[in-house]
Structure 1
Amino acid sequence: MRFFATATSLASVATAASISAGACASATANLQLGNQIIAEASTDISAAVSLAGGFHCPKGMAYSPWVKACECPPGLSYDTTSKSCGGTPLTGAWPAPQCDTSGAKVALSAFCAVSPTKFTKYDATHAWCQVALDTFTFCAEAEIEAEISALGLGIDLDVDLDISLTSSISTVLRGTSAGLAALYIEELAQAVVIFNTNAFGFAVVAADVEVSLTTSIFAQLSATACLLGVGKCQFDCVSYNTMGCHNYIDVVGALGGRLAGFVGVTILPDVILSLSSTKVYTNLVVKDLLCASLKLDTPLISQYKYTC
């Protein structure tokens, strides 16, 4: 099953700024390919996704379906001096989320996920709880613990939650899966078409990205290939998860959406509570996220029991 999920709306285009001589060729290739993807997306989404299969993350980074962008390996961060990922990699299990800080009025437990339909109670020995770009920890209502155990989720690693079942899945369990789907895009090519084109009528606001370019990691990069608004150059929202782009979620951490910052996420049936970099919980409405992002898969929206 493929999930096309995004944070509030969809964005605009294509280039990883030229960062160094070594990275320049890759950035230029992404820019040239991005222009083709944009043109294709206006008429044929499937063809655009196929083209986007040639898009590559910056050297040393890889795609994370939860962040919906390219990431350094967990524990590492982008070093603007070496133009590479640096630091000490995380190993073992993700830290258990602190579920008592969100202010939710229901009993919560910690869980781990490897997709919107594969999640289980937090267990430091479980494969889905180990540090990786495709695993994710979160808090959700404790009442689903018994239900996912009865369904075999997390016990048999090949078992997926079948969200099409109507009689044997609780509203809370289906809502938890919907919240996960709102935070997840399976493939890099999908994210490129969703966030680096305006095929769905959404556009990133130049002023929003400009804040990131002047106050964050981008202020230290040599953006010679893509100066704001010059010529056909727009914004690559996927390569570095740029603030101001719509796949960016403000969480604790130096670069928005870093997996280490996601330990502050609580998923409830209708809302996602996210601990921001200012240590304040903000609300993301699950229905709004799904209706904005799953236009590529309307049957999935109905399976989650939403009407947009």
Structure 2
Amino acid sequence: MEKRKNIVQYRERLDKTLTSFDLTNDQKLKSLVESQFRSSSLSETELEGYAEKLEVKTAELSNFLDMMRSASADENGGSSTSGTDWKLKQDNEEFRVMYRVGPEGTPYHTLLVEGYVDGPVDVSLCLSWETALYKKWWPQFTIPTFKVIASDCLQKVQTCEQIALVRMKPPWPLSTREAIAHYYLFEYFQDDLIVVLLKSVTESERTNETIDGFNNDVIPEANGVVRIDLVGGYVLQKVTSERSYFRTIANLDIKVDFMPPSLVNFISRQLIGSGFRLYQKVVQNIAFALLFCMFSLIIFLD
């Protein structure tokens, strides 16, 4: 009962932050993005196309925050709706997983998971940002088959921006899938919030190096794999120095003509649900190891 009360409080605090004036007012949000640009080591304000990039990133951030708010709790403690009702796939004292059909007229399906992790925000962010670590916590199954084959950073655009590849082997009869994702990190220090935007990059998409920070040369050809599309991201909010709250939401097109309920259940319950439990476990183990090292160092120095 106490855990259930805690997770509701964490969720309500995040919802309050997401609906704050700073994150809902377009001009204020733009000024926050600009402030982060100005602190960039790349001196982005001096680059050609700075104004256009500022508009693009502000719009992307605003759209993503709208997605996040669509999962906010209503006054009755349930989940608000946006277009199509959310369907609860898992709900316990530590996390919940939800699903809904994506925006009308699109091939997307929307999935969400949120819950708390026992570890500092920086450790939680490291595991979710560093693609080389994905094999440490993404689930691996034999029956039905699922495993991460590759997870690599293709280019570090700057400190808060990167292009990464994740390739996976899904269950039969699906063939190998992969995603080329553009990661962009935004920090809202006032409420200890970190926002990471994710969107897929395709071979056919013409990129503007000035705006996007990279060009098509870093995108490998999709040989023998099906490249999926995604739009979404995740947020992390500090609860205490040793606990963080995590919410991720994404519109996914895994390139199938029909998404059967069995596949939806496998993705939401087995992949996402099990994946979040593994993520919790690895974050907790790393946090404990860091704490042990710190105490060992203190004892050694004494």
Normalised by the size of structure 1, how large is the TM-score?
0.28
Normalised by the size of structure 2, how large is the TM-score?
0.28
Greater relative contact order structure (CA < 8 Å, 6+ sep): 1
Structure with greater strand percent: 2
